[in-house]
Amino acid sequence: MNLTSIPRRNYSNGPTPIEYLENLSKLLNGPDIYIKRDDQLGLAGGGNKTRKLEFLVADALKNNADTLITCGAVQSNHCRLTLSAAKKEQLDCHLVLEERVAGSYNPQATGNNLLYNLLDADSKTVVPGGSDMVKEMEKVAKQVEAEGKKPYIIPMGGSNEIGATGYVACAEEINSQLSENSLDIDYIITPTGSAGTHAGLLTGMGESNNSIPIVGISVNNEKHVQEENVYKLVGKTSDYLKLRNKIDKSSVKVLGDYIGPGYSLPTDGMIEAVKLLSQREGILLDPVYTGKTMAGLIDLIRQGYFKKEEKVLFLHTGGSPALYNYASLFQ
């Protein structure tokens, strides 16, 4: 697969490491657990959105945009990283924030909210949970156009076919690392939210004829809804990249059992997972995505889902700046 014809900015310095989690693997006495450190990607604080933004911002620049508009939850890693990319490229950036949990927006909050202020967003518009985010971003785009600027709208989580291409590239990166290190992985475990990461990985692995099962742990939608979202985006991404291999719907696997009371709301499993990874491995997870996903992986290991001789690769998609907004859980 050749992605070189697609416009791309470069926001990271080489491949992110794959590390063996020796202490956690021993403690759980199950499969060998490896971690792909996408929390170490470039831009402010790293994380999966950096890979998507390399393609999305390149497309914005190709379209002569001078302003990025995007949306997310009130503590959105995607909004933080879009702002960071905008600053690097000297673009304006406007955020539309969805208050998914009523009353959760606090202009004084720390975590990503603090970073929106430090990175100096040109505007923040807070809208109630369930709002039509596309319409809300279009309203902002009209205002921006009225000021003589050229806006470019990046969808929620950067999850369209252009953003998902970042994870097609990541699948290629993982394949090279596995073959360079003669490492055979039996499963990849990833958080799945707006679906771009999961869909990009599946598309990329499919095109390389690598059939490692990819299990998405949902942080928001129930299993069937999320499987449909991922599958649709796999189709759009494959069409966009003009790929030959067709991904079968049965290869889209999502588990919806680790969301707890709702998106961004803490679970006991998440708290245990965040503590275990920091105290056993010195790695920071986040409370909304990777903490719940690691809680899922730990639970699956305890249930005997994997054989002891198998190897599992956990995708660390970043997000640790949000930890500071959940300080009371970890003091």
Ligand X SMILES: Cc1ncc(COP(=O)(O)O)c(C=O)c1O
Half-sphere exposure of 16 (CA within 13 A, CB side): 25
Residue number with CB closer to ligand X (172 or 286): 286
**296 counts as binding ligand X under rule CB under 6 A:** no
Known active-site residue 176: no
**How far apart (Å, rounded) are the C-alpha atoms in residues 140 and 282?**
41
Residues 86-115 that bind ligand X (CB under 6 A): none
Binding track, positions 54-83, relative to ligand X; x by CB under 6 A = -----------------------xx-----
Name the minimum Å distance from CB 207 to ligand X.
18
Residue number with CB closer to ligand X (78 or 311): 78
Residue number with CB closer to ligand X (30 or 72): 72
Which residue of 50, 194, 237, 238 would you call a contact of ligand X, by CB under 6 A? 194
Q: Are strands 32-37 and 18-20 parallel, antiparallel or unpaired?
A: antiparallel
Residue number with CB closer to ligand X (144 or 274): 274
Question: Could you tell me if 216 and 255 are in contact, meaning their C-beta atoms sit under 8 angstroms apart?
Answer: yes
Among 22-30, 55-63, 88-96, 316-324, which window interacts with ligand X (CB under 6 A)? 316-324
**193 counts as binding ligand X under rule CB under 6 A:** yes
**160 counts as binding ligand X under rule CB under 6 A:** no
Name the minimum Å distance from CB 234 to ligand X.
13
Buried b (16+ CB within 10 A) or exposed e, 126-165: ebeeebebeebbeebbeebeeeebebbbbbbbbbbbbbbb
Among 96-104, 115-123, 266-274, 314-322, which window interacts with ligand X (CB under 6 A)? 314-322
SS3 for 304?
Answer: coil
311 has which bridge partners?
32
Name the minimum Å distance from CB 145 to ligand X.
27
What single-letter DSSP state applies at residue 216? E
Residues 37-56 that bind ligand X (CB under 6 A): 47-48
Name the minimum Å distance from CB 208 to ligand X.
20
Residue-wise DSSP of 162-211: HHHHHHHHHHHHHHHHHHHTT---SEEEEEESSSHHHHHHHHHHHHTT--
Residue number with CB closer to ligand X (27 or 101): 101
What single-letter DSSP state applies at residue 321? G
What length is written for the chain? 331
**321 counts as binding ligand X under rule CB under 6 A:** no
Q: Which residues make Cβ contacts (< 8 Å) with residue 143, sequence separation at least 6? A: none
Residue nearest to ligand X (CB): 319
**Which listed residue (76, 84, 104, 238) is catalytic?**
76
